[in-house]
Amino acid sequence: MRPFLSHPFDDDKLKEECGIFGVTGVADAANFVALGLHALQHRGQEAAGIVAYDPVEGFNNVRRFGYVRDNFTKPDVMQMLPGTLGIGHVRYSTAGSKGHTAIRDVQPFFGEFSMGGAAIAHNGNLTNAASLRRELIERGSIFQSSSDSECIIHLMARSIQQNISERIKDALRRVEGAFSVVAMTRTKLIGVRDPMGVRPLVLGRIGDSGWALSSETCGLDIIGAEFVREIEPGEMVVIEGNKVASTRPFTPATSRFCIFEHVYFSRPDSILGGRSVYETRRQIGVELAKEAPVEADLVCPVPDSGTPAAIGYSQQSGIPYAMGIIRNQYMGRTFIEPTEQIRNMGVRLKLNVNRALIKGKRVILVDDSVVRGTTSRKIKDMILDAGAAEVHFRIASPPTAWPCFYGVDTPERSKLLAATMTEDEMRDWIGVDSLKFISLDGLYRAAGEAAGRDPKAPRYCDACFSGDYPVAPADQIEKGFQMKAAE
């Protein structure tokens, strides 16, 4: 039975679309890929796929709905994936069949070319995928999925280059937007980041003979691989045997890594741009406490993503940190199909208030973001029901007022609370005593930019906060999306 995969209580968060992983030079590569994908499961829980290559068995491919652990641990599944080279992908759908993914949309995609087969998996979103697809269909391509990433395979098929790596370059020079890619041929593992490096990708070493590519360093840790370096923005690495060849296939661009990876998407134990994600989040809390102090008795995180920022807020303010809200760790996405009655229980199914602690207290709640605001309201109700004297929200990101078109699932602009209300209006709508967001400058300071955000040359993509899109979202503009007017 296909599990229920659209969790009704996680719908008030931005969601990362994908995680990618690849290994070469190890026996039973698919086992390593499965472990890497398991570590990247937070980046996509809807479906996962692995392609492996074995000289005798050729390319094999397994794609399944659900968690990695529920599929890619079974001996009968893993036996289908022999070989020393493999790539994989975990998916949460954004582009493609949003909300009702078909198995044909699950990556990696595979193509057979005159010079041999190749598989490719992609994290991010191509902002010109619709126009490319139209063009390719007019020229005779037959698409089998609704995924952006299939465009890359068709562009590769049309390239006149004589080897797969060159065909990947040709294809990726035609696409716009955000993409980190892992790909494989019969002998090579390939990694590419888009010219601005919006989405992450890192290289690791496995013993003396193996290599790994992973969206995050936590994927390397789980297989005991040593972190070597990040793939740089605009870089392509081709790994064959013990050799890692690096090229720069794209016109150089200024790096604009997604700042939300620091705030929420990446795991706190990962290292991004040489910085500990946990430490950046803790520092966000420190900045928040400086920018938005308030008298209170307790600082409580909204678990789990608000935890490091709440620790930082508590350390800076001197107000005690406490677990005022407890998360039910076993509330998986494969929970029973929600009836209306269960939906009405709402966030209580996932979070519960520590009543004995909260009663009579002035509570600061630290959360990572406010998207629609619906969950914030419910959490406030729970805290007040438990007898809190005051509730103050402190948010570890600036107001999310613009949608992301680079691989993160965001509601349309009209559904974003911050796009339609001022901070004071949001405070009143949520119904709390105070509501404060970290400033964009404060977020940049926490992420290592001591001078804050340079408006002329921002180091990060922060479009969902600023409306400053580093790559114009061509398909969306064609559909009528209004960019922010130049200031």
Could you say whether residue 401 binds ligand SF4 (CB under 6 A)? no
Residues 219 and 208: their CA atoms lie apart, in Å, by: 18
In 416-487, alpha helices (H): 417-420, 423-430, 440-446, 463-466, 474-478
C-alpha span between 351 and 353 (Å, rounded): 7
Region of 24-32, 101-109, 236-244, 456-464 interacting with ligand SF4 (CB under 6 A):
456-464
Determine contact, residues 298/324, Cβ cutoff 8 Å.
yes
Q: In angstroms, how far is CA 463 from the centroid of its own chain?
A: 15
Q: In whole angstroms, what is the distance from residue 108 CA to residue 95 CA?
A: 15
Query: What does the alpha-carbon distance between residue 193 and residue 12 come to, in Å, rounded to a whole number?
Result: 29
Q: Please report where in the chains the tokens 């690849």 appear, as a residue.
A: 22
Euclidean distance between CA atoms 442 and 453, whole angstroms: 8
Q: Which is nearer to ligand SF4, 256 or 361 (CB)?
A: 256
Shortest Cβ 430–ligand SF4 spacing (Å): 22
Strands 177-184 and 15-16: unpaired
Using CB atoms within 10 A of its CB, is residue 409 exposed (0-12), middle (13-18) or buried (19+)? buried
With CB under 6 A as the contact rule, which of the stretches 185-193, 244-252, 400-408, 438-446 interacts with ligand SF4? 400-408
Q: Specify the DSSP element, H or E, that contains 77.
A: helix 75-78
Residue 272 lies near ligand SF4 (rule: CB under 6 A): no
Q: Least Å distance between CB 83 and ligand SF4? A: 34
Closest CA to 435 of 385, 374, 376: 376
Minimum distance between the CB of residue 358 and ligand SF4, rounded to whole angstroms?
Answer: 32
The CA distance from 189 to 366, in Å, is 41
Among 259, 364, 430, 446, binds ligand SF4 (CB under 6 A): 259
Q: Is 258 among the residues known to form the active site?
A: no
262 and 275 in contact (C-beta within 8 Å)? yes
- Rounded CA separation 189/206 (Å): 14
Applying CB under 6 A, which of residues 404, 416, 438, 447 lies at the interface with ligand SF4? 404
Nearer to ligand SF4, 128 or 185 (CB): 128
Candidates 461, 473, 474, 475: give the one binding ligand SF4 (CB under 6 A): 461
50 strand-pairing partners: 62, 88
> Given the rule CB under 6 A, which of 274-282, 380-388, 403-411, 430-438 is the region that contacts ligand SF4?
403-411
- Told to check if 179 binds ligand SF4 by CB under 6 A, we report no
- Whole-number minimum distance, CB 64 to ligand SF4, in Å? 27
Minimum distance from CB of 199 to ligand SF4 (Å)?
8
* Residue 319 binds ligand SF4, judged by CB under 6 A: no
Binding ligand SF4 by CB under 6 A: which of 65, 92, 109, 260? 260
Q: Looking at 121, 198, 319, 396, which residue binds ligand SF4 (CB under 6 A)?
A: 198
Sign of CA dihedral 344, 347, 351, 352: negative
Question: Least distance to ligand SF4 from the beta carbon of 259, Å?
Answer: 5
Among 33, 85, 171, 258, binds ligand SF4 (CB under 6 A): 258
Measured from the Cβ of residue 128, the count of other Cβ atoms closer than 10 Å reads 20
From the list 309, 463, 471, 474, which residue makes contact with ligand SF4 (rule: CB under 6 A)?
Answer: 463
Query: Whole-number minimum distance, CB 85 to ligand SF4, in Å?
Result: 30
Nearer to ligand SF4, 87 or 408 (CB): 408
408 binds ligand SF4 (CB under 6 A): yes
Of 67 and 406, the one with the shorter C-beta distance to ligand SF4 is 406
CB of 138 to ligand SF4, least distance (A): 30
Subset of residues 21 to 50 that bind ligand SF4, contact rule: CB under 6 A: none
When binding is defined by CB under 6 A, the residue of 176, 216, 287, 462 that contacts ligand SF4 is: 462
Size of site (CB under 6 A) for ligand SF4? 11
Distance in angstroms (rounded) separating the CA atoms of residues 419 and 464: 10
User: Which is the catalytic residue, given 18, 151, 300, 461?
Assistant: 18
Helix axes 150-158, 164-174, angle to 10 degrees: 120
The residues, any chain, with a CB within 8 Å of residue 357's CB and separated by 6 or more, are 298, 322, 323, 324
> Contact positions toward ligand SF4, by CB under 6 A?
198, 258-260, 404, 406, 408, 461-464
What residues are annotated to the active site?
Answer: 18
